[in-house]
Amino acid sequence: MIAAAAFSLNPAADAQAMLAFDFMRNAFIAGSCIALASGLVGYFVVLRNQVFTTDALGHVAFTGGLGGLLIGVDLLAGLFASCVAVALLMGSLGGRGRGRDVAIGTVFAWVLGVGVLFLSLYTSAAGTNNSVVGISVLFGSIFGLQATQTLVAAVAGLAASGALLVVARPLLFVSLDPDVAVSRGVPVRLVAAVFMILVAITVAEAVQAVGALLVLGLMVTPAAIAQSLTSRPYLALAMSAAIATSAVWVGLTLAFWFPYPASFFITSIAFLGYLATRVAAFGSRS
């Protein structure tokens, strides 16, 4: 994004100049809600060792979005519908460990093949913006969000965050000791299914911020940082959300003033934070 005004080193004036534009306000509203959900849901993704699931769903979002456009469905509808459907399918095919990874890998390979087909069909169809849409789904287009898209992202992000907090306690129990949870009468399958739906919704909306290929940077990295800083679950949950939100805010600000993609800044900030925690951990053991 090319800066629309001169950088003055006056935080108040710079913020006022930046937020004077509709596209920046939309980006901050949508980005904040997306980051909140990504941090909260991402904490349990890392805790449950389902990082591969998130990566696979990022590619599903790409395939589903383009597939929706091919049949005349809105891009967002294709993103959400495909992610939720495939998330439930992956959850039903395998449990924890090797069986789950085999199931996800099987679905993942098929989805990539379908995605290649959809990309070929869509880019060869009539229209001048086809390739632009494909790139935006792959790498994010948070500065291009319209008012309706911003509203959808905000509602979806807040709804996913609220739902995650509602199921956080049983989900934590199931994640840490599923056998004891079953003996205590916790509906393990239902909790797991609800969580998979929340992962799917969060991935679908996060694609708008950082794109299908970089979604791990927003969902997994902040959670990994938080879990390396504290072993207290609820504190780590809050820290993960705060780190993800901070990365989005700083990334959007840098992308406004400097001519580089917002997704690059957001994922780079998260990665640098993770790298700093690893260096600090290594230093403390030396």
20: helix, coil or strand? coil
DSSP state of 168: H
Distance CA 257, CA 19 (A): 12
pLDDT computed for residue 234 by the predictor: 94
Distance CA 174, CA 26 (A): 37
* Domains (range + CATH), the chain: 11-285 (1.10.3470.10)
Please tell me the number of Cα atoms within 13 Å of 76 on its side-chain side.
16
Closest CA to 113 of 52, 54, 58, 63: 63
Distance CA 244, CA 267 (A): 10
pLDDT at 285 over 90: no
Asked whether 261 and 144 are in contact (CB, 8 A), the reply is no
pLDDT at 2 over 50: no
pLDDT computed for residue 223 by the predictor: 94
Task: Identify which has the larger pLDDT, 65 or 221.
Answer: 221
Cα end-to-end distance, the chain, whole Å: 42
Q: What is the pTM of this model?
A: 0.84
Task: Please compute the mean of the pLDDT values over residues 123-149 and round it to a whole number.
Answer: 68
Distance CA 128, CA 225 (A): 42
Asked whether 178 and 69 are in contact (CB, 8 A), the reply is no
Closest CA to 40 of 283, 268, 239, 273: 239
